């Protein structure tokens, strides 16, 4: 990590971060976590935090809970939170599914899964985040009408995502296929590299019934 990131992690994690322990634990109370009552967006796999910070800054009426396992990414997002004066961001360190299990049903306005690991080898597909049991869990935490928004640059995973999401009885696809790229989702460095390499980007946007 850079010196700035290390400093941000040391100073800010206690105020803006939370550790996600393994195994059973107490539910996470979102109003207490953010200090207010507002719709909450869960960002799974926030990477270096640029997308989370940009979206939270443009959307101050909603709270953003980012979850990531990569310490430099967590530290970088904390640094962005301080430098941009963001009051509506919290950063969780640990396993995303363990975090989701601790959230109350119907407590999320949206879940974002942007460019998750595609695990391209067939023997690793079971590690993918977007699979039926995980989608059912994510959907259960959405409020009725809440949005599950996924994006990927891996064509085979995009098709597998669509098949899985279409099969979930609690989700509906208002676009009848892949969604147009929404203007509110920032273009990341990762996405630019994918486009330069000729990999098309697929957005999948579903709503809970």
Contacts of 123 (CB under 8 A, 6+ apart): none
112, 109, 77: which is closest to 91 by C-alpha?
Answer: 77
Annotation marks residue 10 as catalytic: no
Ligand-binding site membership of 93 (annotated)? no
10 in a labelled binding site? no
Establish whether 68 is an annotated binding residue: yes
- Does 190 belong to an annotated binding site? yes
First to last CA, the chain: 43
The bridge status of strand 171-172 relative to strand 108-114 is unpaired
How many helices (DSSP H) and strands (DSSP E) are in the chain?
8, 8
Strand duo 171-172 + 202-208: pairing: antiparallel
- Please indicate if the annotation marks 43 as binding a ligand: yes
* Phi and psi at residue 106, to the nearest 5°: 70, 20
Q: Angle 132-141/155-167 helices, nearest 10 degrees?
A: 60
- Both tokens of residue 131? 């699979």
Which of these is catalytic: 10, 22, 63, 117?
117
User: Which residues are known to be catalytic?
Assistant: 117
Give the annotated binding-site residues.
43, 68, 95, 117, 121, 153, 188-191
Give the annotated binding-site residues for S-adenosyl-L-methionine.
43, 68, 95, 117
């Amino acid at each position: 990590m850079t010196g700035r990131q290390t400093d941000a992690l040391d100073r800010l994690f206690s105020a803006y971060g939370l550790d996600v322990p393994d195994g059973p634990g107490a539910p996470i109370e979102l109003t207490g976590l953010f200090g207010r009552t507002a719709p909450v967006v869960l960002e799974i796999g926030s990477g270096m935090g640029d997308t989370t910070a940009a979206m939270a800054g443009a959307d101050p009426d909603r709270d953003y809970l980012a979850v990531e396992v990569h310490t430099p990414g967590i530290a970088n997002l904390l640094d962005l939170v301080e430098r941009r004066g963001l009051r509506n961001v919290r950063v969780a360190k640990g396993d995303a599914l363990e975090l989701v299990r601790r959230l109350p049903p119907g407590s999320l306005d949206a879940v974002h899964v942007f460019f998750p690991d595609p695990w391209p080898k067939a023997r690793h597909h079971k590690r993918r985040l977007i699979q039926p049991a995980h989608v059912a869990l994510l959907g259960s935490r959405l409020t009725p009408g809440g949005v599950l928004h996924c994006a990927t640059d891996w064509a085979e995973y995009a098709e597998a995502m669509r098949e899985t999401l279409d099969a979930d009885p609690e989700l509906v696809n208002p676009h009848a296929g892949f969604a147009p790229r929404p203007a509110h989702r920032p273009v990341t460095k990762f996405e630019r590299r994918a486009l330069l390499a000729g990999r098309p980007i697929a957005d999948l946007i579903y709503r809970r019934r």
